[in-house]
Amino acid sequence: MRRRPRPLVAANWKMNGLRRDGVERARDLAARVRRRTPKCEVVVCPPATLVHVVGEVLSGSLVALGAQDCHAADNGAHTGDVSASMLADAGCRFVIVGHSERRYGHGEGDTTVRGKAEAAHRAGLIPIVCVGESEAEREAGRTLEVVASQLQGSLPQGTGPANVVIAYEPVWAIGSGRTPSVDEVADVHRHLRRLLVDQRGEEGRGVRLLYGGSVTPRNAPDLLGAEEVDGALVGGASLKADDFWAICESCP
Ligand code: PGA
């Protein structure tokens, strides 16, 4: 039996919140982790405009700072983009790459996602690499094939538990209130684990595999208890302090 790594629960605030909301939510979370050590590693990924100010609130706390995306280049003429080294400079330790809202909303394929993950590594950040099938792919019975090919195409060389986190997020489950069953989640996670172990041997065993897509305080205990699930990537529910904390506390 694999020794479970320490779970990780990440808040993806997406494009939500002005300074006051973000600071309030971050203060609330920092106070909670001061009162009670969480059962998991906790990461908050605010929108780019709030990275700095939220980072200041979280500094010295047990909550780590992350970002929601980065460019694959270290600097240059990329209007509107942010580089991984800028995020590291602003205090980030993590960055989400390959979220389906980037893959589908911005046409980012595996090669782009891998480039971003490599940029994250160069900057000393831990990329949270997202994979997940669309509803049509699931209905066509292609879930395992799709996530395998995304994993294969998106992961940089030489990844291990210390420098990468993977998030399985079925596209149809994101923000929809629908989730796969616990058995379906466990099937996909077992598959991803097998691929990681085939590719990286022992290193692949310790890489954290998060589940994401409509995680709530109600379904978190089951989803987080599923085989090979090492935490969660939480969107909507991370905007409510009580809900997000309840999810963190649901970790086995
Ligand atoms: P959700 O989003 O929890 O609102 O479904 C998850 C995500 O997109 O990371």
Q: Mind listing the pLDDT tens digit for each residue in 83-135?
A: 999 999 999 999 999 999 999 999 999 999 999 999 999 999 999 999 999 99
- pLDDT for 1: 58
Among 13, 14, 100, 179, say which to mutate for ligand 1: greatest number of ligand atoms within 8 Å of CB: 14
Q: Is 247 in the pocket of ligand 1 (CB under 6 A)?
A: no
- pLDDT for 242: 97
Nearest residue by C-alpha to atom 1 in ligand 1? 235
SS3 state of residue 240: coil
Q: How far apart are CA 209 and CA 206, in angstroms?
A: 9
Above 90 in pLDDT, residue 3?
no
pLDDT in tens, 204-217: 999 999 999 999 99
Contacts of 105 (CB under 8 A, 6+ apart): none
Q: Is 235 in the pocket of ligand 1 (CB under 6 A)?
A: yes
Among 45, 169, 210, 239, say which to mutate for ligand 1: greatest number of ligand atoms within 8 Å of CB: 169
- pLDDT for 65: 98
Per-residue tokens: 13: 């605030």
Known catalytic residue at 99: yes
**Percent of the chain residues topping a pLDDT of 90:** 98
Nearest residue by C-alpha to atom 7 in ligand 1? 235
pLDDT in tens, 190-244: 999 999 999 999 999 999 999 999 999 999 999 999 999 999 999 999 999 999 9
Q: Is 174 in the pocket of ligand 1 (CB under 6 A)?
A: yes
pLDDT in tens, 30-86: 999 999 999 999 999 999 999 999 999 999 999 999 999 999 999 999 999 999 999
pTM above 0.85, yes or no: yes
pLDDT band at 136 (very low <50, low <70, confident <90, very high): very high
Specify the ligand 1 atom closest to the Cα of 237.
Answer: 3
Per-residue tokens: 155: 């992961």
- pLDDT for 33: 96
Q: How far apart are CA 88 and CA 94, in angstroms?
A: 8
- pLDDT for 4: 82
Nearest residue by C-alpha to atom 9 in ligand 1? 235
Known catalytic residue at 52: no
Mean of pLDDT values over 160-165:
96
Specify the ligand 1 atom closest to the Cα of 173.
Answer: 5
Radius of gyration of the chain (CA): 17
pLDDT band at 2 (very low <50, low <70, confident <90, very high): low
Q: Is 177 in the pocket of ligand 1 (CB under 6 A)?
A: no
Point out which residues pair with 94 in neighbouring strands: 66, 126
Specify the ligand 1 atom closest to the Cα of 215.
Answer: 3
First vs last C-alpha separation in the chain: 16
Q: Specify the pairing of strand 41-45 against strand 63-67.
A: parallel
